[in-house]
């Protein structure tokens, strides 16, 4: 779970396998992200982009969340998805705002009552 410096932004990624049919996953993810105080910017059946709502923190620290659903490997029993969480903040401290939001959203996905988590792999 190291921050990777792409230009100057903080970026965290994690993959999950959850026990939910792929066609049920997207609306559940939209709801989960909204419950995390994120504004859904764009979505398709296999991609969701959300953004932290401006107001409480500086613009450079606003987090963008991308969720990619792997429809090619999905079965009726399980679906793999990845999240990328990033912002324009320099990740100078290990416990920066982007990292805190990453951990918060990761926990929300891992602990969601809508599915059983099969695997979580931070990268």
Residue 76 lies in a domain: yes
In order along its 123 residues, the chain shows pLDDT tens digits of 444 444 558 899 999 999 998 888 999 999 999 999 999 999 998 999 999 998 888 888 999 999 999 999 998 889 999 999 999 988 788 789 999 999 999 999 999 999 999 999 987
| Residues sharing a CB contact under 8 Å with residue 83, sequence separation 6 or more, in sequence order | 13, 14, 15, 16, 65, 66, 67, 68, 105, 106, 109
Residue 33 lies in a domain: yes
Residue 2 lies in a domain: no
Q: Which domain holds residue 84?
A: 10-122
Domain count, the chain: 1
CATH number of residue 65's parent domain: 3.30.310.80
Query: What pLDDT, on the 0 to 100 scale, is given for residue 59?
Result: 87
Residue 30 lies in a domain: yes
Residue 26 lies in a domain: yes
């Amino acid at each position: 779970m190291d921050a990777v410096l792409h230009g100057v932004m903080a970026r965290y990624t994690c993959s999950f396998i959850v026990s939910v049919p792929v066609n049920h996953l997207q609306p559940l993810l939209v709801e989960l992200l909204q419950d995390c105080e994120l504004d859904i910017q764009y979505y398709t059946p296999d991609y969701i982009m959300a953004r932290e709502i401006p107001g409480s923190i500086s613009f450079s620290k606003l987090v963008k969340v991308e969720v990619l659903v792997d429809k090619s490997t999905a079965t009726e029993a399980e679906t793999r998805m990845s999240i990328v969480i990033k912002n324009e903040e320099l990740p100078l401290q290990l416990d920066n705002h982007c990292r805190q939001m990453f951990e918060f959203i990761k926990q929300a996905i891992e602990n969601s009552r809508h599915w059983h988590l099969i695997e979580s792999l931070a990268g």
